[in-house]
Amino acid sequence: MTGTLSGKAALVTGGSRGIGAAIVRRLADEGAAVAFTYSAAEEPARALASQIESKGGRVLALRADSADPQAVRQAVDAAAQAFGGLHVLVNNAGILVHGLVDDYDIADFDRMVAVNVRAPFVAVQAVLRHMGEGGRIVNIGSVVADRIGFPGASVYGMTKGAVRSLTQGLARDLGPRGITVNAVEPGPTATDMAPQDGPLRDKLASAMALGRLGRDSEIAGMVAYLAGPDAGFVTGAGLTIDGGYLA
């Protein structure tokens, strides 16, 4: 495997399924050695690792709950130790718990903030021990930072708005070190959160200028660009990839 990321090492959090798995595959296809975390989906994680290894790639699957700061730190350190450093960090792990404000469970609120906001910050803190000039950090946000579009997603939208603000602040903090920090903000995409068929899919597709949901491979393509050499002057950006959902 040779490509734009040949000789680089990456860590993708929440990489066993959906958009995360597509990102892992794309970075590996571009030549990177890729570690990824997973929480409970052990079988998909093993299958993904086997798929990449069968194509000659270097891959490492790490079990880590993103709600646990120490587990996040240990995963970063394990990936860096296995690969001799890290050049790319993709904070992809995220959860969505729907609910209206009047009866929303505070435990769900706390877990959403822990996984969607605190974990990326902890991962960035940890990776800086292993990442030098030219490093790339990509946070996976969402278009709900701009438009919720449906009831019951206020907390999720809040967390993704925080991801965008965090991205901008980190870009300022880390720019002097030659490390870029950007957010990729997908619109409705065909994953576990947004099924590829049924009434929900039809409703979401009707809101898109292109009349369809996004593909996880398309999101991965934008991440690969930000991780690669052509994006060296892109930092602090929130790059929307939404099929015209916000148009």
Active-site annotation holds for 156 = yes
Tokens of 39: 């929480």
The answer to whether residues 194 and 136 touch, using CB atoms and an 8 Å cutoff, is no
The answer to whether residues 84 and 9 touch, using CB atoms and an 8 Å cutoff, is yes
Question: 38, 104, 156, 245: which is the annotated catalytic residue?
Answer: 156
Burial group, residue 78, by CB count within 10 angstroms (0-12, 13-18, 19+) = middle
Report the DSSP beta bridge partners of residue 64: none
Report the DSSP beta bridge partners of residue 240: 185
12 Cβ partners below 8 Å, 6+ apart? Answer: 20, 23, 24, 27, 34, 35, 36, 37, 90, 92
Residue type, 109: F
Residue that is written with structure tokens 């296995």 in the block: 82
Catalytic residues: 156
